[in-house]
Structure 1
């Protein structure tokens, strides 16, 4: 892959946000001595300079297709290993355990492949969250039942349309009617009277009225000499 050194130098010294920077000791595969370099990580590009504030980097490591591993040579040391054919290994060393762990984590997460995996995982989590939210929203939706149609009485049967307004109320009686609460006294029960007693009671009154009427007719006959009308 061809690299435009001029563009890389401009990018290294630009105002692009820096993911991590600091001093690290570095050596290659051949030499055994470490050299102190100022490192700047921007995206998947790891620049290293002779001094902090230099405009042009000494070199750049493209963090793609590599692994970040611990070493046993020096304390707080690790390496960047390229497993491809012709790949090389960079040995780096810092001054504390915390600094070493922070650098290893930052370098391991800098590659494009890692970011692609992270974006895919975040998209999966987002899809699951949206599906759960949609399911919860669907569960909260209350289906409004259709308005109940008015009941139609059987053919030939009549009903009072004003009673419809009383449906669902506590009292289904009209104010002032004989069925109203105020007029209704459940403790007073009507006595059931046999038909024979009713016939006898009203029959006597009818007979008395008839006899009184016949007496008046008899008196009228004596005064007018008109024939008596028999019933």
Structure 2
């Protein structure tokens, strides 16, 4: 019979037995050897863990002078800087009045960011959300008008 260990650089072993019963005994011995080895390894690891837990940690090492210091909590967010590249912004081209109001809102937020004034998420959400809601409501109104106009004439020639 053949015993294979799959993987790179692993060997295969071909064993011979004189009878089926002898082969079965070898297979049982191999299976038990794996289980016994596992029990032996678990017992050894448990002994090492017990040794580590019993050993008290010296105070100078626990409160070491040269222990690592955590990094400062302040982080730089690159998205806080105003970006003056006009190609990276998307604006609706529906009407010039909404575009100008949206640009004013954007400039207001950029001025606040450049002046290092903190703005809450709610204020930021509202400043960007109002023009979006305005555009969405305008679009929805146009869709309703299209549906209303299409139902007036059932047949067109």
| TM > 0.5 fold call | no
TM-score, scaled to structure 2? 0.25
TM-score, scaled to structure 1? 0.18
Q: Identify the structure with the greater strand proportion.
A: 1
Q: Identify the structure with the greater helix proportion.
A: 2
Structure showing greater Rg? 1
